[in-house]
Amino acid sequence: MMQQSLTIRDAIIQRRSIKAFNGQPVERDILLSIMEDSIWAPNHQNRQPWRFVVACGKELLDLYDVLKEFAIPKWKELTDEELEKQMKKFTNPGGYIFVIVPEDARQKERLEDYAAASMLIQNIQLLAWDRGIGSCWKTPGFLDSPKFREALGVKQGERIISMLQVGYFDEMPKPKERKHVDELITIFGE
C-alpha cells in the first residue's frame, strides 16, 4: 500500500528535528529524488547558489573516518567502547547531505544565497518527512576547519552551511512549545 502524502500544512507543523536515528540506511535513489525536488526553492535571479556533498551507503564508512578525526579530537585516547559510544551520533543517521554555498563578496548577494539555501534545506526536510525520513540540520564548528573542508572538497570562496543528517527513526519527538503568533505580530499603524 502506498503512503498518502501529507498536506503542506501537515508537513510543516508535524516535522521535527530527529536526533535519535535507528541506523537504517537511506536508499540512494530516495535521497537523490528528495534532493532533485528540493532544488525548486526560490532563489534570487535563479542563481541556484548551492551544491552538495552526499554520503549514504558504502561511502558512509569513509565519512565516519573523517567525522571521527574532526568531531572527536581526542579519539585516539578513547577505548574502543568509548569511541563507539561517541560515534553513535554520527553512525546512526542513514545518510548525510552537506550543503555548500558561495561566499559572495557582496553582502546582499551573500545573504540572498544563504536565505535561498536555507529554503532548500527546509524543502529537503519536508520532502524527507513526507517519506518517513527524519532529518536534523547541524552546524558544528568543525565545518569551518580547513582540513575538514579539504576532505569534503570545499573550495576557497565556499562555505558549508549545513551538515544535514537524514535517516529513519522509531520514536517521534514531542513537539516543543511555540510562541503564539499574536506575540510575534505587530500590525503596522496600530
The C-alpha cell at 5 is 502524502
Q: Is 147 annotated as a binding residue?
A: no
Q: Is 44 annotated as a binding residue?
A: yes
Q: Is 85 annotated as a binding residue?
A: no
Q: Is 178 annotated as a binding residue?
A: no
Beta-sheet strands, E only, within 6-119: 51-55, 95-102
Q: Are 34 and 131 in contact (CB under 8 A)?
A: yes
Q: Is 79 annotated as a binding residue?
A: no
Q: Is 110 annotated as a binding residue?
A: no
Q: Is 17 annotated as a binding residue?
A: yes
How far are the Cα atoms of 53, 89, 165 from residue 136, in angstroms, in the given order?
16, 11, 5
Q: Are 42 and 120 in contact (CB under 8 A)?
A: no
Binding positions for FMN are 15-17, 44, 137-139
Feature table: binding site = 15-17, 44, 137-139
